[in-house]
Structures are given as structure tokens and as C-alpha cells.
């Protein structure tokens, strides 16, 4: 799929803008702080209803405004000519609702169409966030039906935390990337989290009763149910999550190894290993395959093995909420011993491989988004990454220096102070960004397309003109 048109109103530093994007490689160029990353973020928000960069949706609304809107026209690939239009908006409104529902990461609160507090959670305070989304002009209320209508895979510099950060970063990666292609995963995560919260509340109450001298093995705490009941619910949802994650990583493994070899130019095996949140004493030598039943038996044995520890500490020590990923380059643990350059290349390989996996699973090439991905790579690896990006129906990247694009033939857009202009003559003529890039930039003056000067104006810019 490709995004043929992106429209923004009061989003970040954009007052009102429409950009016509061509297929293939698209480069957003300009100085830092001008709004290049904001365009990639807008595509991510349209795809998932959540920003990958901030938690509070209020921060996405242009300063001084109370509402933001995004829209895109999407052309499907795979031999189809279908055009779909997505519209997503959110505004600050009173009064607030107290309804709580899951969103894209499976852990936060608030679905489009519900009222939320400024922190993205429901509250009884006066200000609330109301979301609206439409597909083809038809209002949408279910997140599951929204996800997948625009498939994007994005790299941002902070994604290095997938390797260098805490396990929660890696679980968030698993939840988001699995859920975008298989939305049922989010529903499983929401049910699992509710069961986990109830089980932990029961364990905590049993622990408090023990300290107070009461019989912790007697009747369950009123309103919390018995431990065995919550175990059954936890296992039912958790085993599906464990199986889905294991399958995902098994399918991704050969792709990520191939992409990393291509980007690095070295015959080193890059692996992403699944460290399931299962008690060490019951872990199998090899993952138990993709069967829910196999994972159910393993999860059940792990809960039993950790029973004493759970009741003594008042919390649950087994399950998907304890999962982790191990990244290895050869025999080296990249998180502990890898350089920042090695970690960066590994995450880039992971993202490109993920985009290829999405294309295999959905039958639609996702839009690959690369934010400042080229600046810390040497010339050879930049060329290889650009070649990988060019394999997708559409890839959009940012760069501060045209020299970083040498050897490629992208459609060029210049971003300055929340306004976008196309290098129309360069894109139309297919001139390679090779040789003296600085001279090319001087010769390829931006097209004489008027840019919005007032918030009310919508401007159309095209790299095809």
C-alpha cells in the first residue's frame, strides 16, 4: 500500500497542510526542528491511534488549539486498485466520561470515540479528550476494525531502547507489532491484564491476612474470587499470547538474519531469541511450538512452581508480563556488550525485516518510515539501507543532508517551519542524488507552490508535478 495524500490540521507545528506523496522512495529534507519527524509521527498516529513518541495526545495538538485532525488517502497494492480514506481527529472537550477501554498497546486506556483525560486516561476532571475516526466516511468505534487499514513500520532513534532498554520496552514492541497485524492480540492482552490485576490483588490480600494472623488458606477474600479461578483465566489468555509471540519470532528469524547480513556486509548471525516468562525450573530446552495447549501446560506448571513465591511476595512471577527478548550477534549479547553502532544496525535490520514480515502476513506492503536512520551509518551501509527501503511500495525517510542520499533517486520534499515544498524538477526527472549533492540542492530549487500562511488554508504539494 501507499499513502497518496496526507492531510494535517493543527497537528504539532502544522496549521493546515496537504501533501501528495508518490510511490517509491520519498525523502523529507531540512534542518532539525522543522517538522520532518512530525510527518512520520502523523502516519503512525493514523495507523494505530497512538503516537510512538509521546504518551499524552494533548501534546500532538498545535499550541493554542483545542483540536487536531489527520486524514490520508491510501492506495492498496497486491494487484488491487481500491482507494481507502482514513480520518482521525481528537479534541479537548467537557464534560469527561469515566468509561475505560483498551487501546492499541493493550495496556493504556481510551478508545477512539470515548472521553479521556489529558493523560490519555479516563477521569472525572473537567477537561477530556474525545476521539473520532472514519474509514471511507463511515464512523468507526472498534479499534480492531481500524488497525490494519494503514500498515506502517517505523524506525525512530529512540527505538534503540528495544535492545538497550528495560524488558518493558521489548514487550511493548511485541504487543504493538503483533497487534497491528493481528488485532485479536490486543483483546487477549486486555483480558490477560485484567485477570493479572485480579490475581495480584488476591495475592496481596492473602499476604496481608497472613501478616494479621488470619488463615490465608481459608475462604477467598470477598469479591476477589479464588486463586484457582484467576489461574484458569490467566492461563487461557496467557497461553495464546505466549504462542502468538513464539510464532511471530519464529517467522521473523530467517528474515531478520538475512536483512542484517545484507546491511552489515558480514556473515554474522543476528538472532532474536524469545525468553518467555516461564519459571526456570519448568522451561523446555526448546520453545514448545505454536500450540496453545503446549503453552497452556507450560504456563500452568510455571504458576504451580512459583506458587509459594507468589503467595509470599504478593505478586505473579510467571506469564507474558515477564517475557523478554535476547538479541545476539554471533555469540555476543548485544544488549550487554554491543556498541551503539551495532545496536543501531540491529534495530534497523529488525524494522526492515518486520516490514517484510507484515507484507508476507497481510499481503500488503507496509509503508516503511525511517527517521534519521542514515546519519550514523557509513556510506556503504547507507546505500544498502536505501536499497532495502526501495524494495517496498513506499518508504518515507528523513534526512538533514542531501549527501546522505547519494546513490538513491528519491522524491524530495523540503520541510521548513511546518511547511512542505517539493523539489518538483528533481522528482519529476528522476535525477539521481549522486555526485555533488550540495550543488544539486542549489540547482533543484523548490517548486513555486504557495504554502499555507494561515491556519484556514489547505495547500496541495506534489512530487509528481
Query: Of 318, 337, 356, which closes a domain?
Result: 337
Q: Which three cell numbers stand for residue 380?
A: 556503504
Phi, psi (deg, nearest 5) at residue 153: -125, 125
The contacts of residue 138 (CB under 8 Å, 6+ apart) are: none
Of residues 422 and 277, the one with the higher pLDDT is 277
How far is Cα 58 from Cα 67, in angstroms, rounded to an integer?
Answer: 9
Q: Grade residue 274 by pLDDT with cuts at 50, 70 and 90.
A: very high
**168 assigned to some structural domain:** no
Q: Give yes or no for residue 95 having a pLDDT over 80.
A: no
Judged by average pLDDT, the poorest of 214-223, 271-280, 324-333 is: 214-223
**pLDDT recorded at residue 292:** 73
Residue 413, in any domain of the structure: yes
- Report which of 34, 45, 51 is spatially closest to residue 8, judged by C-alpha positions: 45
Q: In this structure, are 255 and 315 located in the same domain?
A: yes
pLDDT over threshold 90, residue 324: yes
The answer to whether residues 318 and 188 belong to one domain is: yes
Which has more pLDDT, 94 or 435?
Answer: 94
Preceding peptide of 95 cis, ω within 30°: yes
Report pLDDT for 127.
72
Per-residue pLDDT reduced to its tens digit, 58-87: 999 999 999 999 999 999 875 556 788 999
379: Cα separation from own chain's centroid: 28
Same domain, 132 and 256: no
Burial class of residue 180 (count of CB atoms within 10 Å of its CB; 0-12, 13-18, 19+) = buried
pLDDT at 196: 95
41 and 95 in a single domain? The answer is yes
Same structural domain for residues 310 and 388? no
Name the domain boundary from 321, 337, 353: 337
Number of domains in the chain: 2
Domain span at residue 46 reads: 2-151+364-462
CATH classification at residue 372: 3.40.50.300
Region 232-257: mean pLDDT is 95
326 in the same domain as 182: yes
Q: Is residue 124 a part of any domain in this protein?
A: yes
| 425 lies in the same domain as 307 | no
Residue 79 lies inside a defined structural domain of this protein: yes
Q: Do 318 and 181 reside in the same domain of the chain? A: yes
| b/e map 289-308, b = 16+ CB within 10 Å | eeebebbbebbbbbbebbee
- Dmax over CA atoms of the chain, in Å, equals 83
Residue 422: φ, ψ to 5°: -100, 145
Task: Give me the CATH number covering residue 287.
Answer: 1.20.1050.90
Mean pLDDT across 157-172:
96
Flag whether 213 is in a domain: no
- Place 247 in a pLDDT band, splitting at 50, 70 and 90: very high
Together in a domain, 405 and 328 = no
123 pLDDT exceeds 50? no
Q: How many Cβ atoms sit within 10 Å of the Cβ of residue 219?
A: 7
Judged against a pLDDT cut of 80, whether residue 269 lies above it is answered with yes
Long-range contacts of 274-277 (CB under 8 A, 24+ apart): 274/245, 274/246, 274/249, 274/323, 274/325, 275/323, 275/324, 275/325, 275/326, 276/242, 276/245, 276/246, 276/320, 276/323, 277/302, 277/318, 277/319, 277/320, 277/321, 277/322, 277/323, 277/324
211 domain residue, yes or no: no
**Beta bridge pairs of residue 133:** 88, 140
Res. 289 pLDDT band, cuts 50 70 90? low
**What pLDDT shows up at residue 208?**
82
Shared-domain flag, residues 321 and 244? yes
Average pLDDT of the chain to the nearest whole number: 82
Distance CA 258, CA 262 (A): 6
Among 141-155, 214-228, 292-306, 402-416, the range scoring the smallest mean pLDDT is 214-228
Closest CA to 192 of 99, 288, 102, 306: 102
pLDDT computed for residue 435 by the predictor: 39
Does position 170 have pLDDT exceeding 50, yes or no?
Answer: yes
Q: At what angle do helices 340-362 and 379-389 cross, to 10 degrees?
A: 10
Distance of alpha carbon 85 from alpha carbon 52, whole angstroms: 22
CA distance 184 to 450: 45
119: pLDDT strictly greater than 80: no
Reported as a pLDDT band with limits 50, 70 and 90, residue 211 is: confident
Which three cell numbers, joined as nine digits, stand for 112? 477512539
What is the average per-residue pLDDT within 190-206? 92
Residue 269, domain member (yes or no): yes
**Stretch among 73-87, 150-164, 203-217, 342-356 having the lowest mean pLDDT:** 203-217
> Is it the case that residue 313 has pLDDT exceeding 50?
yes
Asked whether residue 14 falls in the same domain as residue 106, the answer is: yes
Domain membership of residue 145 (yes or no) is yes
**Residue 421 confidence (pLDDT):** 85
Of 284, 302, 337, the residue that ends a domain is 337
Q: Quick one: 184 and 260 in the same domain?
A: yes
Residues above pLDDT 70, as percent of the chain? 78
Amino acid at each position: 500500500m501507499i499513502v497518496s495524500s496526507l492531510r494535517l490540521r493543527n497537528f504539532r507545528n502544522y496549521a493546515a497542510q496537504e501533501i501528495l506523496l508518490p510511490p517509491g522512495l520519498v525523502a523529507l529534507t531540512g534542518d532539525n526542528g522543522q517538522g520532518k519527524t512530525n510527518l512520520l509521527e502523523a502516519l503512525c498516529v493514523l495507523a494505530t491511534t497512538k503516537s510512538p513518541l509521546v504518551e499524552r495526545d494533548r501534546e500532538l495538538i498545535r499550541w493554542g488549539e483545542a483540536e487536531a485532525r489527520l486524514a490520508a488517502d491510501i492506495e492498496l497494492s497486491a494487484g488491487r486498485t481500491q482507494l481507502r480514506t482514513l480520518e482521525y481527529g481528537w479534541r479537548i472537550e467537557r464534560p469527561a466520561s469515566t468509561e475505560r477501554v483498551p487501546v492499541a498497546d493493550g495496556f493504556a486506556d481510551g478508545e477512539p470515540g470515548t472521553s479521556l483525560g489529558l493523560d490519555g486516561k479516563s477521569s472525572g476532571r473537567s477537561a477530556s479528550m474525545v476521539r473520532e475516526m472514519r474509514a471511507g466516511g463511515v464512523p468507526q468505534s472498534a479499534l480492531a476494525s481500524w488497525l490494519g487499514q494503514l500498515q506502517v513500520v517505523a524506525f525512530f532513534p529512540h527505538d534503540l531502547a528495544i535492545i538497550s532498554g528495560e524488558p518493558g520496552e521489548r514487550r511493548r514492541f511485541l504487543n504493538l507489532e503483533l497487534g497491528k497485524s493481528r488485532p485479536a492480540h490486543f483483546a487477549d492482552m486486555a483480558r490477560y491484564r485484567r485477570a493479572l490485576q485480579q490475581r495480584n490483588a488476591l495475592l496481596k490480600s492473602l499476604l496481608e491476612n497472613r501478616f494479621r494472623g488470619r488463615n490465608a488458606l481459608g475462604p477467598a477474600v470477598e469479591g476477589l474470587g479464588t486463586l484457582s479461578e484467576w489461574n484458569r483465566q490467566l492461563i487461557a489468555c496467557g497461553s495464546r499470547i505466549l504462542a502468538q509471540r513464539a510464532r511471530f519470532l519464529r517467522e521473523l528469524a530467517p528474515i531478520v538474519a538475512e536483512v542484517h547480513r545484507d546491511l552489515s556486509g558480514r556473515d554474522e548471525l543476528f538472532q532474536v531469541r524469545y525468553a518467555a516468562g516461564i519459571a526456570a525450573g519448568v522451561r523446555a530446552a526448546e520453545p514448545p511450538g505454536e500450540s496453545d495447549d503446549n503453552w497452556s501446560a507450560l504456563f500452568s506448571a510455571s504458576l504451580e512452581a512459583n506458587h509459594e513465591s507468589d503467595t509470599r511476595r504478593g505478586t505473579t512471577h510467571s506469564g507474558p508480563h515477564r517475557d523478554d527478548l535476547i538479541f545476539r550477534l554471533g555469540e555476543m549479547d548485544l544488549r550487554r556488550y554491543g556498541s551503539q553502532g551495532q545496536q543501531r544496525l540491529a534495530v534497523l535490520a529488525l524494522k526492515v525485516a518486520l516490514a517484510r514480515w507484515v507484507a508476507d502476513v497481510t499481503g500488503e506492503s507496509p509503508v516503511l518510515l525511517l527517521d534519521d536512520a542514515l546519519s550514523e551509518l557509513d556510506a556503504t551501509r547507507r546505500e544498502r539501507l536505501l536499497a532495502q527501503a526501495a524494495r517496498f511500495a513506499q518508504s518515507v525517510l528523513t534526512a538533514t543532508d542531501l549527501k546522505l542520499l547519494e546513490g538513491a533517486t528519491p522524491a524530495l520534499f523540503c520541510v521548513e517551519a511546518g511547511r512542505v515544498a517539493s523539489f518538483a524538477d528533481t522528482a519529476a526527472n528522476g535525477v539521481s542524488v549522486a555526485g555533488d549533492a550540495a550543488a544539486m540542492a542549489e540547482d533543484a530549487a523548490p517548486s513555486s507552490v504557495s504554502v499555507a500562511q494561515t491556519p484556514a488554508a489547505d495547500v496541495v504539494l506534489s512530487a509528481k508535478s
